[in-house]
């Protein structure tokens, strides 16, 4: 019998370590499910929104999407004299032509700004638009997004609370046609739900720049915390900065009328490239809650893969490995399935255990490639 430290068999040490990793993983996602449940009990602000808003969108080579975005903004149920739309062209080619297709019937003030040649990237584009915005509330989305007629109204309503500095909106992928698309959607929904649930519990970790509102004064004060040297993270690093300065100043817009839809990756390669981009910025996290969540997810998924490996070598009983697998998959299903009553298009339940069993391999591969940090985005190569 092979023994480890203190004379205990190696199999006992492995069992202890693997159980610790996976039970901690399960406990975190049970905690997050509780946070999601509490979101459903949160009262939504009612009545006429009191503020004015500037919708700021960074655009780079989005000819195929821009008309749909502006069409959604054109029909917003919000006073035209209290809303402006700012498109910041991040050195794309045909933005003006797209703009002319809708400028005749867009009731809100629309400004198309060209990012100065000396700077580039989404963060710089959003900052440029924010500096030139006329209103105190900034509402961010992406050019490939669409939403209902009450989106702006619901976000601005959140700021009737003077303490609020940042409003996290929910985002969902369009309904997929292929099996791989369902996996992309489950993964994305889990990220969105985890960010919203942790914020409701007072430990905000994640958010998505496709649906985010912030006070302009706070954004301009904290923009240096966005790590402009990194191409990604315009949303998460802003969240962390505001959380550090205004711990009670973050809330979640838990309302179907305030949700944004976005296009899903079309291929596995596109999906992995996106996740590498998102994962690469995790190396620069300093927020404690985000680090705990990141390492817990990585440990839980790595631990399950390790359990399969050591079972094959006879160092872990098959029954123990099955128990570990059951604990993790159950935690995954309980969490993701909690969102089925909020999101308009539900994920078929049979897919959850199937994809949950594949998830550890995906996490380890994505995390490993994110360490290298090489990816493409908007026609640019980043290392």
Task: For residue range 158-191, list pLDDT tens digits in order.
Answer: 999 899 999 999 999 987 778 888 899 999 999 9
**Residue 253 scores a pLDDT above 70:** yes
Beta strand 250-253 pairing with 109-114: unpaired
Query: Which pLDDT does position 1 carry in this prediction?
Result: 46
pLDDT given for residue 47 in this prediction = 57
List CB contacts of 113: < 8 A, sequence separation 6 or more. Answer: 86, 87, 88, 89, 128, 129, 132
The pLDDT of residue 343 is: 87
Q: What's phi and psi for 206, nearest 5 deg?
A: -135, 155
Whole-model pTM?
A: 0.90
| C-alpha torsion sign, points 124, 126, 129, 133 | negative
Split at pLDDT 50, 70, 90, the class of 72 is very high
CA distance 37 to 205: 17
Asked whether 105 and 74 are in contact (CB, 8 A), the reply is yes
* Mean pLDDT of all residues belonging to the chain: 87
Q: What per-residue confidence (pLDDT) applies to 347?
A: 77
Give the residue-averaged pLDDT of 229-235: 83
Q: Which pLDDT band holds residue 101 (cuts at 50, 70, 90)?
A: low
Residue 219 pLDDT level (bands cut at 50, 70, 90): very high
Asked if residue 107 has pLDDT above 80, the reply is no
- Region 344-372: mean pLDDT is 81
pLDDT digits (tens, 9 = 90+) for 127-170: 999 999 999 999 999 999 999 999 999 999 999 989 999 999 99
């Amino acid at each position: 019998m092979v023994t480890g430290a203190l004379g205990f068999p190696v199999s006992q040490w492995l069992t202890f370590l693997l159980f610790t990793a996976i039970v901690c993983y399960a406990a975190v996602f049970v905690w997050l499910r509780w946070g999601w449940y509490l979101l459903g009990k949160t009262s939504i602000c009612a009545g006429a929104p009191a503020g004015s808003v500037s919708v700021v969108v960074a655009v780079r080579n989005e000819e195929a999407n821009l008309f749909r975005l502006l069409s959604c903004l054109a029909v917003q149920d919000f006073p035209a004299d209290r809303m402006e739309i700012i498109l910041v062209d991040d050195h794309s080619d045909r933005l003006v032509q797209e703009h002319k297709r809708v400028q005749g019937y867009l009731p809100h003030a629309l400004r198309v700004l060209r990012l100065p040649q000396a700077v580039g990237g989404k963060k710089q584009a959003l900052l440029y638009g924010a500096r030139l915005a006329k209103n105190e509330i900034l509402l961010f989305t992406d050019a490939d997004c669409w939403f209902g007629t009450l989106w702006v109204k619901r976000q601005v309503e959140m700021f009737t609370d003077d303490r609020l500095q940042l409003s996290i909106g929910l985002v969902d992928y369009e309904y997929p046609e292929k099996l791989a698309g369902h996996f992309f959607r489950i993964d994305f929904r889990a990220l969105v739900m985890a960010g919203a649930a942790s914020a409701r519990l007072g430990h905000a970790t994640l958010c998505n720049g496709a649906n985010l509102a912030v006070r302009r004064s706070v954004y301009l004060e904290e923009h240096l915390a966005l790590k402009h040297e990194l191409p990604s993270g315009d949303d998460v690093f802003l969240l962390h900065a505001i959380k550090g300065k205004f711990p009670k100043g973050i809330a979640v817009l838990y309302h179907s009328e305030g949700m944004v839809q976005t296009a899903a990756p079309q291929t596995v390669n596109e999906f992995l490239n996106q996740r590498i981009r998102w994962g690469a910025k995790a190396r620069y996290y300093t927020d404690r809650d985000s680090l705990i969540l990141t390492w817990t997810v990585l440990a839980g998924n790595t631990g399950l893969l390790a359990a399969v490996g050591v079972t094959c070598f006879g160092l872990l009983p098959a029954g123990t490995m099955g128990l570990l697998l059951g604990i993790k998959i159950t935690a995954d299903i309980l969490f993701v399935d909690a969102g089925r009553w909020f999101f308009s298009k539900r994920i078929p339940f049979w897919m959850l255990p199937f994809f949950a069993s594949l998830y550890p391999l995906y996490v380890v591969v994505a995390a490993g490639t994110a360490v290298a940090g090489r990816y493409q985005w908007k026609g640019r190569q980043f290392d």
